[in-house]
Amino acid sequence: GCPGVLAVLGLEAAALGECELTRLLQDKLQYEMRLQYMKHYFPIDYTVQVQYEEVLRPSNITRLRNGTVSEAALRYLWFHVSSQAVLRIREVLPEKHPSWKYTQELCQLFDALGEEYSKYQQ
């Protein structure tokens, strides 16, 4: 990863561009990290309520990809659904929770990516 980038994310992230921000998010969202911060640190039977429309399934992506949806639109869809999911989790986490810092870093990366996407017409 880029620990220096994450340390000064508030100022530097906006200058990174979509590809670098996506790579940083990919690093943060690796299976092992999600398992540690989003499963092991949560109590058994702990749930966050989501609407059916908020779940992004691989079959839906395949259907969209086979249709007329552009790759840029699919990337924006992934960004929107993922950032909203992280915000939902943040709503229920107390600040002293072991996953607080991890989700805060995810939110900062998604915010920076949102700034990048706001430059484009969607």
CATH code at position 16: 1.20.1250.80
The whole-number pLDDT of residue 105 equals 94
**Mean local confidence (pLDDT), 45-57:** 74
Higher local confidence (pLDDT), 93 or 104: 104
Burial status of residue 71 (CB atoms within 10 A of its CB: 0-12, 13-18, 19 or more): exposed
Residue 86 located in a structural domain: yes
What range does the domain containing 56 cover? Answer: 9-120
The whole-number pLDDT of residue 121 equals 57
pTM higher than 0.95: no
- What phi and psi values does residue 23 have, to the nearest 5 degrees? -65, -40
The whole-number pLDDT of residue 110 equals 93
Sign (positive or negative) of CA dihedral 39, 94, 29, 55: positive
The whole-number pLDDT of residue 104 equals 93
Burial status of residue 77 (CB atoms within 10 A of its CB: 0-12, 13-18, 19 or more): middle
**Mean local confidence (pLDDT), 69-94:** 86
Residue 66 located in a structural domain: yes
Residue 28 located in a structural domain: yes
Residue 103 located in a structural domain: yes
Residue 1 located in a structural domain: no
- In the chain, the number of structural domains is 1
Cα(18)–Cα(110) distance, integer angstroms: 10
